[in-house]
Chains A and B, each alone.
Chain A
């Protein structure tokens, strides 16, 4: 639900449930009070006149000034300013089925020592009639109010919330990778300016952290690779020199370890780069072509290991993926399929529009399949691997919103990578304000 709709509903709810009843009640009571007051005033005046008529010694008629009066001689008297006021609903004319409200005012007068009780009465507007009148005015007022609200709320919200939407839009387009701090539009609204302050504080910190993290990753890689390069080159020079057999074995062991170290370092740096989203897919690449190329380059290895390769690669499978990641992805998956295979085993590669599936024969996994994608977790103790390949594959899949799944069934290890449907990606590209509004509703 949109903010403006919430406000509108809240406002209407308060108006309908609280303001309208209270207001109606107050209006009703005050109108009735005014009507009664003026009727009483008039009747008092009538009683006064009747008193004057009696003073003159004349007989008052049954009606004075359109009001019905009753003069009764009584034995006792009340002070001149004492009035007895009653009002009641009376059935004025049973045939008309009309209920009226009658107000009577009684006062006491003394004429020539004789006490009289003068009662005059009049019919006044009934409460139902007042309410009926009120209802019309309230309903029409409400209709005008709702119409105006609905018409102006959106406009007002667009104007008032403009800084908010601008901040949201900037956030939506914010990308750490650009290393650009957010420039938010200044606003006079207190809440929005506070929001902007915190948002810029947060994003500035994130950008700073990102930059230092990236620098650290780069420096770590640089600082480690240079010594590694020195060790490796010195070992190579050493192996060229005049050495004995046992020294050669020592050198070879060192070379193996340097290799492993190099590989771990490279993989960790690659992983941190992937996590930093440095390999953003800009265009679609032909996965079919890359897969076929990989099959070609691994063909030798597969034959050497005496494995049987079956593959079904559909043409024109294009996916959004960074070109250098395609190789890493395929090399790791096919490499794993070769390495963890059994003699005379089988490798099956299937690529179609929706997914890439690589399955291979092999010994059943010992660990939890879920942990396969974690770093340095190895299904089987294999000294030729450091156990980081699958976690790189997973990371590549994650940043490109591919779904990766591992299964082991009927002595086949099966890794399936499902590509996202093409329609989703195009929808994500829409960034107009209406789309933004839809997103806010979530």
Chain B
């Protein structure tokens, strides 16, 4: 998947592109609107990651530019301004999703995947890994074709794990993914622990491999090398 990152902060841009590169994305970076417009005209991207505040203008202008030039890439807005206006305008102007800084990199990855899945109309709504398969339309999780009795949050968490396989997922990132930004540190990490424990129990009960492991001090990891 080819991604254009439009972000003026060099440090942040390097973090994001490094992370995405590890996930196998081809990530190019533009630091301003002019450069971004040149690239958008010259190359094709599956997705555009767009910062709103750019040195030479408002990132929202890129949205209208892309519409004018009939560029079909998906757009994910990354904004530090978590003001509602921007979110509403952005989504109305054709952005696919909106992520507020500071975000967790695995969250960005999960959102990108979700956008990508939605955009590919012929794409399957089943995400599978070995014996685990998740149907994102019906929210059904199966292991070895046995339907698991999972709650919505558990399903979301398992999907988050599979999308970010072989990545360390911090408890903070999991909590933010499950309960959103405004939950006043509801992220009592016991809950994360409980959810993870339940998922592991349910997968094991269906004779699945226990891929999810604890990373000492940091969080959890969906380890594909486990057998």
Contact = CB atoms under 8 A, between A and B. Distances in A.
A266 interface: yes
A233 B105 contact: yes
Interface stretch (A13-21, A168-176, A220-228, A412-420): A220-228
Interface in B128-180: 151-154, 167-168, 170, 172-173, 176, 179-180
B44 interface: no
A255 B194 CA distance: 20
Interface string A330-346: 01100110110000000
A236 B18 contact: no
B182 interface: yes
Interface in A195-254: 218, 221-222, 225-226, 228-234, 236-237, 239-240, 245-246, 248-249, 251-252
Interface stretch (A85-93, A105-113, A380-388, A399-407): A380-388
Interface in B6-42: 9, 11-12, 15-16, 18-19, 22
Nearest to A335: B186
A234 B19 CA distance: 10
A252 B217 contact: yes
B217 A248 contact: yes
A4 interface: no
A31 interface: no
A185 B105 CA distance: 56
B183 interface: yes
Given A228-B101, A236-B104, A279 B217 contact: no
A248 to B, nearest CB: 3
A237 B19 contact: yes
Interface stretch (B60-68, B80-88, B113-121, B204-212): B80-88
Interface residues of B, number: 50
A336 B188 CA distance: 12
Contacts of A270: 182
B19 A256 contact: no
A239 B173 CA distance: 13
Contacts of A72: none
Contact of B188 (A269, A296, A339): A339
Given A230-B9, A236-B19, A331-B186, A300 B101 contact: no
Interface of A: 218, 221-222, 225-226, 228-234, 236-237, 239-240, 245-246, 248-249, 251-252, 255-256, 258-260, 262-263, 266-267, 269-270, 273, 278-279, 296-297, 299-301, 304-305, 324, 327-328, 331-332, 335-336, 338-339, 384-386, 388-389
Interface of B: 9, 11-12, 15-16, 18-19, 22, 53, 80-84, 100-106, 151-154, 167-168, 170, 172-173, 176, 179-188, 190-191, 194-195, 215-219
